[in-house]
Amino acid sequence: MDFIYSDEQQQLRDSLQKYIAKEYGFEARKAIIASKQGFSDKVWAQFAEMGLLGVAFDEAHGGFGGSSVDTMLVMTELGRGMVVEPYFSTVVVGGSLIDLGGSEAQKQAILSEVVQGKLLLAAALGEPKSRYELNCVETAAKRDGAGYVLNGHKAVVLHGESADKLVVSARTAGGARDAKGISLFLVDRKSAGVAVQGYRTIDGMRAAEIKFANVKVGADGVLGEVDAALPLLERAADFAVSALCAEAVGAMEALNAATYEYLKTRQQFGRPIGSFQALQHRAVDMMIHCEQSRSLALLASVKVQSEDPNERKRTVSAAKIQIGRSGRHISEEAIQLHGGMGVSNELAAGHYAKRLTMINATLGDVDHHSERFASAA
Amino acid sequence: MDLNYTKEEQAFREDVRSFVHENLPKDIGEKVLHHKRLVKDDWVRWQKILYKKGWVAPNWPKEYGGCAWTPIQQHIFDEECGYAGAPRVMPFGLVMVAPVIQNFGSKWQKEYYLPRILSSEDWWAQGYSEPGSGSDLASVKTKAVRQGDHYIVDGQKTWTTLGQYANMIFCLVRTDTTVKKQEGISFLLIDMTLPGVTVRPIITLDEEHEVNEVFFDNVKVPAQNMVGEEGKGWTYAKFLLGHERTGIARVGESKRELEQLKAIAAKELRNGKPLMQDPRFRDRITAVEVELMALEITLLRVLSSRTKPGPEASILKIKGTDIQQALTELTMEAVGPYALPFRPEVRDGNWKGESVGPEYAAAAAAVYFNYRKTSIYGGSNEIQRNIISQMVLGL
């Protein structure tokens, strides 16, 4: 067993931590969220310069040949800073779909641009009735000469409005919930027939409803195997979930730290409220929740690479369940222990709670993963 | 033992139900049911309708315009109004300050303020919490210094619910710093339109403006606005707390939210089937429903006891808010990924635009975060537990 990070990994973490602490304070973040685009091009360019956008990709594609553990490290720091830039949608979800399923030509063309910060991706997987089920795909892709024509509605596409390219799941065969018959397509967001309705999300990010009306995709826009994209989708989604878990751990650490600080400084009845045993025990439970979450997030970040799909699914779902439960517990307790200040939008605490809560509603909540965990035994 | 409502009570329930059905303005009811934003006029309109019927102040003694209802009737009324989606009658004037004025106020205060509260001419706010005084309310610092016929008030109140609509505020102020902290507190009625009063919004997690900070800078308040005796404010404040405890269970509202949650869960799909048929989710709804059934009977037991509701009524605050929060949580989870879109503009009563996801999803997460307040306000649930442990269990 070896739980030690390499020197390179520690350096990566330290430099990112320093950057966020210096440049991405609560007020700076607030201004970024209020901007038209909802994230900062400047921060994104800095991320590219720091090499963050390529940690997980092969050197052949402009990356740095790191592992899923490197992604975990980055996501934990992004979680701690509540960073709203589209790292998750572009690098983690979009990037891994292309990395795992793309042709050499697609990887060359897209990943190197992503690594340099020149290209943004978004994964359009969910639909109005799909909830968290990746196999529930009604968007249709019909053969049209050498290419395809897409029609349908993709829901809550994270950073869908700013993405240059969309990775879209669509049905090329079978019924709405069949595992077979799903294919993936790369679609330029500005293609004719793509209608994007962007909006804010409650955790400070952006998302969009995207409607496809007779959108033409060339043969080179097919990603992976036609009719058989579900295993690829699931693998990429598991990687994304493990990254979300890592992000959640960063958010939990920061939220717990803010809460402990509040308990130590807030005075009532002539002493710090942290001197009351009833609150001390609750603070301890928050810490235990965080440690249990960290353990499973670590495990998931390693086992997500497992060649055994059942082991992978089981571990990743276990982590998502733990993070969903603990995220809820920590969020609610942190708000409660902050008293009125906890429900004020002027304090970071509530914003961490919002992010943690929405992580549970991204790529499967506790109930969804509980069922998946049991069926992957 | 008979745990049924009497014939008279059932008939009373029918009366209330049909009155609310016929008189609650449709637009207001729609707003409440769909968690749209209420504005001052919505509350005032409904309160004036109740005032005309003579039902706006059922808790008041008959002589002042109350209904002389039994506690059970009062509960039936609250439940029916809540269930139907009537806005909550603003408690600060009618439920909180009015009983204090009736019991401890001067003849002038009674004659001047009570009719204005009844008719909703005045909108009252509560001036209790301060930045340094939350759970430790007796530590309030806002001071009122007697100067001839006036008190000069300096200080700050906070978490003032809907203070932006208020023209009057009842405040706990410090009039004596030389005595035990509870004994130096007085109960002062302050006109918020006086020079030196400033209201500043606090924006909450749902980005709504519901609470405020209220600043007092050299505010000259006529001495006739002091309630009862100087230095007795803490006693009046405690008296007031006893008046707000039973309404806080919110059984009617929770029944309505439970029903809406079930309707949502019947529409939402999971693995191609209604979420309501998913045992995992259904069991969680059941758990809340069972708690709500128990709370209703607990509330009725408290209301039926021959003595006045005592400290055990804190159970109603704790369980009532637990249930309200659990319902918002389940509603948010029921809508799945559509919990994420955040579009405060949709909550405007006049909004017309392109929707995102089902209508019932639009405010689900915002309401969940808004309702975190319920276990914090009105004496946090920690304070309620202290009350039970000290006053009921004697620990």
Task: Walk me through the domains of chain B, giving residue ranges and CATH numbers.
Answer: 7-89 (no CATH), 124-230 (2.40.110.10), 245-392 (1.20.140.10)
> Would an 8 Å CB–CB cutoff place A268 in contact with chain B?
yes
Residues A238 and A351 in one domain: yes
Pick the last residue of a domain from A58, A93, A119.
A119
Cβ contact, residue pair B280, A367, below 8 Å? yes
Q: How many CB pairs under 8 A join A and B?
A: 136
Provide CB contacts within 8 A for A178, sequence distance 6+: A135
| Amino acid in the structure at residue B175 | T
pLDDT tier for residue B246 given thresholds of 50, 70 and 90: low
Residues A281 and A358 in one domain: yes
Provide CB contacts within 8 A for B39, sequence distance 6+: B349
> C-alpha angle B130/B133/B138, rounded to 5°?
115
* Paired sense of beta strands A206-217 and A194-201, if any: antiparallel
> For residue A1, is it within any domain?
no
Contact A63, A191 (CB under 8 A): no
> For residue A114, is it within any domain?
yes
Task: Count the Cβ atoms, other than its own, within 10 Å of residue B238.
Answer: 11
Over chain B, what is the mean pLDDT?
Answer: 95
> For residue A222, is it within any domain?
yes
Q: Is the dihedral of CA B264, B270, B273, B278 positive or negative?
A: negative
Cβ contact, residue pair A278, B134, below 8 Å? no
Q: Which of residues 193-232 of B touch A (CB under 8 A)?
A: 202-205, 207, 211
CA gap B265, B286 in Å, rounded: 12
Residue A297's domain is classified under what CATH number? 1.20.140.10
- What is the predicted pLDDT for the residue at A188? 98
> Would an 8 Å CB–CB cutoff place A277 in contact with chain B?
no
Residues A235 and A353 in one domain: yes
Measured between CB atoms, which of B204, B333, B356 is closest to A199? B356
Residues A365 and A353 in one domain: yes
- Burial class (CB within 10 angstroms; exposed 0-12, middle 13-18, buried 19+) of B59: buried
Structural tokens at position B78: 């609250």
Cβ contact, residue pair A203, B382, below 8 Å? no
Residues A360 and A235 in one domain: yes
Cβ neighbours of A273 in B, within 8 Å:
135
Pick the last residue of a domain from A78, A97, A119.
A119
pLDDT of B340-395, one tens digit each?
999 999 999 999 999 999 999 999 999 999 999 999 998 999 999 999 999 999 99
Residues A221 and A235 in one domain: no
Structural domains in chain A (count): 3
- What is the predicted pLDDT for the residue at B308? 73
Residues A261 and A371 in one domain: yes
CA gap A17, A81 in Å, rounded: 8
pLDDT tier for residue B241 given thresholds of 50, 70 and 90: confident
| CA distance, residue A189 to nearest chain B CA (Å) | 19
Residues A312 and A178 in one domain: no
Residue A48's domain is classified under what CATH number? 1.10.540.10
Contact B42, B28 (CB under 8 A): yes
Residues A248 and A367 in one domain: yes
Contact B110, B225 (CB under 8 A): no
Cα distances (Å, whole numbers) of residue A323 to A327, B32, B137, B189, B338: 5, 33, 37, 49, 20
Measured between CB atoms, which of A133, A200, A361 is closest to B342? A200
Average pLDDT over residues A175-200: 98
If you write DSSP's letter for every residue of B124-183 in order, what string do you get?
EEEE--BTTBSS-GGG---EEEEETTEEEEEEEE---TTGGG-SEEEEEEES-SSS-GGG
- B330, containing H or E segment: helix B314-334
Residues A239 and A371 in one domain: yes
> Would an 8 Å CB–CB cutoff place A343 in contact with chain B?
yes
Range of the domain at A252: 231-375
Cβ contact, residue pair A155, B338, below 8 Å? yes
Cβ contact, residue pair A336, B380, below 8 Å? yes
Q: Which residue has the tokens 């995992």?
A: B280
Average pLDDT over residues B71-75: 92
> Would an 8 Å CB–CB cutoff place B136 in contact with chain A?
yes
- What is the predicted pLDDT for the residue at B244? 61
Residues A182 and A251 in one domain: no
Coil/strand/helix, residue A342: helix
CA gap B71, B74 in Å, rounded: 5
Pick the last residue of a domain from A228, A250, A270.
A228
Residue A369 dihedral angles phi and psi, to the nearest 5°: -75, -25
> Would an 8 Å CB–CB cutoff place A367 in contact with chain B?
yes
CA nearest neighbour of A71 among A93, A97, A42: A93
| CA distance, residue B344 to nearest chain A CA (Å) | 10
- What is the predicted pLDDT for the residue at A159? 98
Average pLDDT over residues A44-48: 97
Contact A326, A252 (CB under 8 A): yes
> For residue A2, is it within any domain?
no
Task: Count the Cβ atoms, other than its own, within 10 Å of residue B106.
Answer: 14
Q: Which residue has the higher pLDDT, B310 or B121?
A: B121
Q: Is the dihedral of CA A213, A218, A223, A229 positive or negative?
A: positive
> Would an 8 Å CB–CB cutoff place A271 in contact with chain B?
no
Over chain A, what is the mean pLDDT?
Answer: 97
Q: Which of residues 168-227 of A touch B (CB under 8 A)?
A: 176-177, 197, 199-203, 205, 207, 209
Structural tokens at position B170: 């009842």
In this prediction the ipTM stands at 0.97
CA gap A284, A293 in Å, rounded: 14
pLDDT of A239-264, one tens digit each?
999 999 999 999 999 999 999 999 99
Helix, strand, coil % in chain B, rounded to nearest 5:
55, 15, 30
Residues A251 and A328 in one domain: yes
Coil/strand/helix, residue A241: helix
> Would an 8 Å CB–CB cutoff place A371 in contact with chain B?
yes
Mutate to test the interface with A, among B140, B200, B205, B359 (most CBs of A within 10 A): B205
- B370, containing H or E segment: helix B364-370
